[in-house]
Structure 1
Amino acid sequence: MAQKDKTCPSCGRIYEPLDWDGPDCPFCEVNLEEVGTNSSLISNLISTKLEWPAGQKRKMITRVGGNMNAQLLKAQLESSGIPVYLESEATVLLGDMQEVHIYVPENMAQEAIAIIGSV
């Protein structure tokens, strides 16, 4: 029987079974709810509280294995004022985890790389 993705009713994050298998959201500490079969969904694909700069193309600054790792880097960049776009391809896997590409506006790429380099 396939494990199901879970979502946090408070923050809306979606956790894949390989990313997080705890009963509660590690950020909000509320019970997670099942959302269906493992569909490799990524929550909050693009920053909603930070506006993407007009006319800026996206630039991939890194790729990570798993939704949890992507969400942690996204939160770090957003806390520095850098909007983020996450993209995942179901066919690309790193070990047992799905590969997630992390994009930022082209004019903020160097700053973003410096931030994630210090993490």
Structure 2
Amino acid sequence: MTVMIQRSSIDIFEDSVLVNPWPVYRQLQEQGALVWFDRLNAAAVTRYAECRNILRLPHIFISGKGVGLNDAVNAQSEGSVLGSDEPLHGKLKSVLLERFSPQLSPNSRRKSKIRRML
């Protein structure tokens, strides 16, 4: 599948965009699935389906070399779930999923306990 890269001069960090980003998000989605921001020297995937497909190709779209827009952010996220590739990413993710799965939430434990009592 070929995806056309659209160019944008929008400053997504402009105050008005930060206050109300939804119109700009919609505009970017209408522009295309992949948008190159000239001011940031970076690309963004603007649509759900394409983003989901990219996230399923971690051998092509790597995170271990940084996902931020500058070196300082990338240095801080290095070795985290966000800033890592396999096999480390899978290990870190499994710890998070184990701790934050809906089955382990306090609310679901209460519901389970109530069901057993009934």
TM (normalized to structure 2)?
A: 0.22
Bigger proportion of residues as strand: 1
Bigger proportion of residues as helix: 2
For the pair shown, the structure with the greater C-alpha radius of gyration is 2
